[in-house]
Structure 1
Amino acid sequence: MLDGIQKIPIFQWLKFSDTDLLDFGQCVDQNRQRQFAFLFGVDGQLLSALVMGATGAVGSTYNYLGKKTNQMLEAYERKDFSSALNYQLCIQRFINFVIKLGFGVSQTKAIMTLVSGIPMGPPGSHCRKPPRSLLTMQKLN
């Protein structure tokens, strides 16, 4: 896929959305000289991707896990890898919690409403409703 990119003069970045870090590493290795921004799209593996050469991230959980993610990035920049790992593990625990709820648009909207206090509106009619436990947590806050 990346072989023809040099023909696109304005090409600046790519988002890698697979969990295969071997494939991601090969992508970085083969294209490092082109100085692309390598954005990683698997939020629960960002720390590992940074080590492999990711220069940024794009993901849905950063909407409500932004503070923890920024703390992880700051620890990584300070080379405090123990703290960075602890933040990544905390993020993973929360992502696992959300996955158990269904991790769809409705769950994400409910979590965003819960975390931000800003009503995100109901999910579209094509989406599954969030679990009652999450809706109850919203009402308590």
Structure 2
Amino acid sequence: MIFFVLLIFLAIAVVIVITQRHRKGDFLFRIRKLKNKNTALLSEMMKMREESAYFALATDELSQKAFRHLELALDDANSKVIEIDEALRTLESRAKSWFDYTDLYVLIGMQDEAFEEVENIMRKARQDYVRLSKTSS
């Protein structure tokens, strides 16, 4: 009889461990997906900043103003991307833990929303960049 009770407890423990591993994998997958998007945005920002650097040398006032606007947008997006990256590192370390799962779904969702804000800023920066490249040509 005791053997069966121990066997039932062992089965319950195995089920708990399997579900914890599944949740852990889900958290890590979502975090890695956001980190990959974040890395892609950082490289795009660096590329835009390098390519738009010669617009600062333009003599007309319109190009100078557009360049300053683009720089401000890129700086704003860059600071937010760095904040998101730091938060994702913290969340990743929490997701690797076996017991610290409190509010991870909510926190990952918050970083996803912050990332959408950065994408909107970058969309506007891309429009400014296209405008700059057309006026300088």
Taking structure 1 as the reference length, what is the TM-score of the superposition? 0.27
Structure having the larger proportion of residues in strand:
1
Q: Which has the higher contact order (CA 8 A, sep 6+)?
A: 2
Taking structure 2 as the reference length, what is the TM-score of the superposition? 0.28
Structure having the larger proportion of residues in helix:
2
